[in-house]
Chain A
Amino acid sequence: EIVLTQSPGTLSLSPGERATLSCGASQSVNSNYLIWYHQRPGQAPRLLIYGASNRAPGIPDRISGVGSGTDFTLTISRLEPEDAGVYYCHLYADSGPLPFGGGTRVEIK
């Protein structure tokens, strides 16, 4: 089973700063299936990025994703208060459920 490992566990940054979040897969994966979600406190997750680098509708261009193989990165440039919450990477699979990554919590100072 493929395991997704996210780092760091927590990021504490000021508004306007850049956040870099990592998601590592235990084996090479199809980047078309690599997804990023954002969950604000008390809310349902929201789709941010699909196919490792494609922004979902309504997602601002200061949020971007890159990666392939086993290493994927989500970058939030110019942090805003609304970016606070937990970011999860996930791998879609047509062969059954796969675990989410453990999440990275972004705190805005």
Chain B
Amino acid sequence: EAQLVQSGGALAQPGGSLRLSCAASGFTFRNYEMIWVRQAPGKGLEWVSYISSPSTVIYYVDSVKGRFTVSRDNAKNSLYLQMDSLSADDTGVYYCAGRKFWSESFGMDVWGQGTTVTVAS
């Protein structure tokens, strides 16, 4: 069964850093392009970042550019999101998700369970 297991969410101070991880199992991770999506409390979904496989194409939403860095290690079947200079606006549940890059479906068909990031002093 395809599965993404997330970790790394925590309480962080404004200006602080966190590193989120997303571990893949049950499928060939290197064949998947991956995204990070976040959801502020009581709000909708927000696309945060995209990374291709290999990591040749990377995108960020404007609000996190220069502060967040997405990366992946296909040998370890893992995706990461390094989050620096955190602010209260970054508070929310963060999801990793992916799709096989040659799939006819452009929807993300495997999702992590989410990890909660809270930025507060």
B44 to A51, Cβ gap below 8 A?
A: no
B109 to A100, Cβ gap below 8 A?
A: no
A-B contact number at CB 8 A? 71
Query: Which residues on B sit within 8 Å (CB–CB) of A49?
Result: 107
Number of residues of chain A lying within 8 A (CB) of chain B: 28
Q: How far is B106's CA from A47's CA once the two chains are assembled, in angstroms?
A: 10
Interface of B is mostly: strand
Contacts known (A44-B111, A92-B106, A92-B107); A86 close to B49, Cβ less than 8 A: no
Q: How far is B47's CA from A101's CA once the two chains are assembled, in angstroms?
A: 11
B109 to A103, Cβ gap below 8 A?
A: no
Query: Which residues on B sit within 8 Å (CB–CB) of A60?
Result: none
Interface size class of chain B, counting residues whose CB lies under 8 Å from the partner chain: 20 to 34
Closest to B48 in A: A97
A50 to B44, Cβ gap below 8 A?
A: no
Query: Which residues on A sit within 8 Å (CB–CB) of B60?
Result: 97
Q: How far is B109's CA from A35's CA once the two chains are assembled, in angstroms?
A: 11
Q: How far is B35's CA from A103's CA once the two chains are assembled, in angstroms?
A: 19
* Other contacts beyond A97-B59, A98-B47, A103-B44: 16, CB < 8 A: A35-B106, A35-B108, A36-B107, A44-B97, A44-B113, A45-B97, A45-B108, A46-B111, A50-B104, A50-B106, A51-B104, A96-B59, A97-B48, A97-B50, A97-B61, A100-B44
> What are 21 A-B pairs at a CB distance below 8 A?
A35-B107, A44-B95, A44-B97, A45-B37, A45-B95, A45-B111, A50-B104, A51-B105, A56-B105, A56-B107, A88-B44, A90-B47, A90-B107, A92-B107, A97-B47, A97-B49, A97-B61, A100-B47, A101-B44, A102-B44, A103-B45
Query: What are the nearest 5 A-B pairs in CB distance?
Result: A92-B106, A50-B105, A97-B47, A50-B107, A35-B107
